[in-house]
Copies of this chain bind each other. A is one copy, B any other.
Amino acid sequence: MQIGILLFEGFTALDAIGPYQILSSVPGAETVFVAEETGPVLDHVGALSFLATATLTEVTAPDVLVVPGGPGQSAQMTNGPLLDWLRAVDVTSTWTTSVCTGSLLLAAAGLLDGRRATSHWLALDALREYGAEPTGERVVIDGKYVTGAGVSAGIDMALTLAGSLVDDRFAQFVQLGTEYDPQPPYDAGSPEKAPADLVEEMRAAARFTAASGG
């Protein structure tokens, strides 16, 4: 079983690594990091590059497609060859998945039309503009499309998927192996739980970034 994880400049590392750490444990899984060109792909922080080991033309039929998000996603929304590739591999994929604003790329490729999906909480409105039906859930499954909310939600998304790919016991085994027994020291991980002024500050920063074309 091939798991293809897409990379593009400005991706968010944890978006990709959450699913990677879980799904690469699936028996028989071959995981490939795929990008337009092989070689280093810089993340959005600008301090870390992952090595892409295959080009889009080399990965034609992954069983599981994982599309991370990150600030670099916006520059890909009009990347014709990339969107063509998403549409092409989706034809034969068993599961087409995303984390964070990766769902906007799937939506821009037309793959989420009328489907329930999620994204980073700041991107839910944009997801609707691209034809999906956004929900505030952390993991959304609609047919073979599995979307996760922002950044860290890729872990929950992938554990859910691992249960379907193998079985519940396997997913629990991976959860135990990665000691995924989260104990956040704060309870501010969603706009419903975080202090309201902090949510507004982040919304304002996002509007500024959007307005300035960032």
Contacts and interface: CB of A to CB of B under 8 A. Distances in A.
Given A18-B14, A51-B49, A172 B198 contact: yes
How many copies, total? 2
Interface string A183-214: 11110111101110011011000000000000
B183 A156 contact: yes
Contact of A163 (B155, B186, B191): B186
Interface in A10-50: 12-14, 17-18, 20-21, 24, 30-33, 40, 45, 47-50
A190 B14 CA distance: 22
Interface stretch (A55-63, A87-95, A102-110, A144-152): A144-152
A181 B31 CA distance: 27
A50 B139 CA distance: 28
B31 A45 contact: yes
Contacts of A139: 183, 185
